[in-house]
């Protein structure tokens, strides 16, 4: 466990020392803050009319949930940029052989890289979550729904991070790893788009789509089938990344 945490801390520190990572975080926070303020202004404009409606949506439904939904869409682009250097950067710098010769198992190395990158992504998600939580200073948000939405976005981010680590393990260049992770994440996000457009409801196709399992969290529904899906995607991607490292030990590219 200490070896895994050592790799994770190294990955976290590597990200923290990159101006690109800080610029990425600043851009994300600026975009989310702008949307939050727009949503808040829109809510204040319609609030007087909502007061006379039965079961009218509140600030959580009109501000917080749309904000977190937009964040999940941005994660499709942001996470590949965060994970692209996990292994591809090591290969380009010539330090991957040293990492593989450190005596750590493939699983520990992959989990360490995954944990470090996911920690960075979750820190950004938590910072964005502070914006709707600030509504508690003047209103009463639905904290249960916010907790469910945060859990869904966290699981969604974990799956994307694992896919990014896998693509970085296979790619020789960080840019190629980012492109592959973006393509894989986007494909999983829209795999059932054609069926939905035609009004076709196929359980198999719908089950494969990321949105199918993320959307219930935004409605405050935490179901085991959705949790298992995200854990399954994450686990499969990490196992494949570990197998790729095993191949690199015997046949370095």
The 10s digit of each residue's pLDDT in 143-171 is 999 999 999 999 999 999 999 999 999 98
How distant, in Å, are the alpha carbons of 92, 94, 99, 110, 238 from that of 245?
15, 15, 11, 8, 11
pLDDT of residue 195: 57
Lowest average pLDDT, out of 59-63, 130-134, 199-203, 238-242, goes to: 199-203
Cα of 219 vs its chain's centroid, Å: 19
The 10s digit of each residue's pLDDT in 32-60 is 999 999 998 888 887 777 666 666 677 78
Q: pTM for the full model?
A: 0.91
pLDDT of residue 15: 83
- Total Cβ atoms within 10 A of residue 176: 15
- Total Cβ atoms within 10 A of residue 212: 19
More confident residue, 3 or 27: 27
Residue given tokens 């204040």 in the structure block: 44
Q: What is the mean pLDDT of residues 227-243?
A: 94
Measured distance between the N- and C-terminal CA atoms of the chain, rounded to whole angstroms: 29
Quick check: 131 pLDDT over 80? yes
- Check if the beta carbon of residue 178 is closer than 8 Å to that of residue 80: yes
């Amino acid at each position: 466990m200490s070896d895994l945490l050592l790799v994770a801390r190294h990955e976290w520190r590597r990200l923290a020392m990159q101006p690109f990572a800080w610029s990425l975080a600043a851009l994300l926070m600026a975009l989310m803050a702008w949307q939050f303020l727009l949503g808040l202004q829109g809510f204040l404009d319609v609030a007087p009319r909502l007061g006379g409606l039965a079961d009218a949506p509140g600030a959580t439904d009109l501000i917080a949930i749309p904000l977190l939904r937009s964040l999940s869409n941005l994660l499709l682009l942001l996470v590949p940029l965060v994970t692209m250097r996990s292994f591809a950067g090591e290969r380009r710098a010539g330090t991957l052989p040293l990492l593989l010769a450190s005596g750590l198992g493939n699983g520990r190395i992959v989990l360490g890289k995954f944990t470090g990158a996911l920690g960075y992504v979750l820190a950004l998600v938590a910072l964005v979550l502070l914006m709707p939580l600030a509504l508690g200073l003047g209103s009463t948000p639905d904290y249960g729904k916010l907790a469910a939405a945060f859990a869904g976005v966290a699981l969604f981010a974990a799956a994307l991070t694992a896919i990014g680590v896998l693509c970085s393990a296979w790619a020789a260049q960080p840019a190629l790893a980012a492109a592959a992770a973006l393509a894989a994440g986007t494909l999983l996000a829209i795999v059932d788009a054609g069926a939905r457009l035609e009004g076709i409801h196929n359980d198999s196709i719908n089950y494969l789509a990321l949105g199918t399992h993320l959307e219930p969290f935004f409605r405050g529904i935490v179901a085991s089938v959705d949790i298992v899906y995200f854990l399954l995607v994450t686990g499969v991607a990490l196992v494949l990344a570990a197998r790729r490292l095993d191949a690199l030990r015997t046949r370095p590219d």
